[in-house]
Structure 1
Amino acid sequence: MPETWQFQVRITVVPAVADALRASSPYEGRDLLEAVLREYNAALKCQFDAFADYVEEAERAGRDRYPLYQWTKDTIANPGKKAKYLTSFAVYVSGEDVYDRESADGLYARLSALAGRVGIESVNRFDTNPANNPQPPVRK
């Protein structure tokens, strides 16, 4: 039986659009981006905010249950990485951070068509296959 992977689409946007997205403020091109997201019952989550939420949850629930706690905390504390992740947004479909290939392919195509417009700098698609993704750092 073949493995079935799930997928995630992420966009990188210019800083001004990132600020507007994080604050739910208006910006030029918002209608186009929101139309694509509505089509897939999707929403954007800033990667920095997702990392900060993870750290907060780990500190509240017990760090030992969160294997990426220290890496994530160090990442959001690093000014260069913070700047990078403030402009990176994961697309969630129906509230899920990973989803089927069909949704990912459709989102990737539609969002790629907006790249270079509406403040989107790049669009990337990732899968859950461990061979294609960095693995958690080894605990020391």
Structure 2
Amino acid sequence: MTKQWEYQVRINLGDELAGVARRDPDNPAIKPLADILAKHHATMKCQFDIFADYVAEAEKRGTENYPLYAWTKATIEDPEKQAKYVKLFALYVDGNEVYAKPLADALESDLQRLVSGKLITRLSKLDSNPANYPQPPEQYRT
């Protein structure tokens, strides 16, 4: 039996609008994006904020239970990586981080028209196959 992977759509926003999207997702400057997200019952969360929330939760509950803590903390403390991840947004559908391929495909298709403008600079769809994700560098492996 073949494993059915779930998917997540991610978008990179332009420098100017990434900060707006993080602070004010209802801002008229990102309305075309907000309209598409609403159509798909989707929300967006900044990848940097996702990492920062993970670190905060680990520090609150005990880092020994969070295997990616050291790597994630190093990532959010690195200015170059911070600059990259504050512009990257994960899209959640119906509150879910990953979702069925047809949902991801429809969302990706509708967002495609916003790519290469000043709003979305890059659009990607990732599957949940762990083999497709980077592994922590040696110094962060437990």
Question: TM range, normalised to the smaller chain?
Answer: over 0.9
* C-alpha deviation, 1:118, in angstroms: 4.9
Q: Could you tell me how far apart the structure 1 residues matched to 2:119 and 2:31 are?
A: 12
SS in 1 for 2:98: coil
1:27 and 1:53 mapped to 2: Cα distance? 27
Q: Deviation of residue 26 (structure 1)?
A: 2.1
Question: How many Å separate the matches in 2 of 1:84 and 1:21?
Answer: 15
TM-score norm. by structure 2 comes to: 0.92
**5+ residue gaps in structure 2?**
none
Select between 116-125 and 128-137 the one with higher mean Cα deviation: 128-137
TM-score (norm 1): 0.93
Show CA shifts across 1:37-96 (max 9, x none).
011100000000000000000000110111100000000000000000000000011111
- Structure 1, gaps ≥5 residues long: none
Question: What is the alpha-carbon distance in structure 1 between the residues aligned to residue 15 and residue 28 of structure 2?
Answer: 12
For residue 135 of structure 1, what is the aligned residue in structure 2? Answer: 135
- One-letter amino acid matched to 2:78: N
**In the TM superposition, what is the alpha-carbon distance from 1:16 to its structure 2 partner?**
1.3
Residue identity (%) = 45
2:72 counterpart of 1:42: no
Give yes or no for the alignment of 1:69 onto 2:64: no
Aligned residue in 1 for 2:2: 2
CA RMSD of aligned residues (A): 1.4
Paired residues, number: 139
- Aligned residue number for residue 19 of structure 1: 19
Structure 1 residue aligned with 2:93: 93
One-letter amino acid matched to 1:69: Y
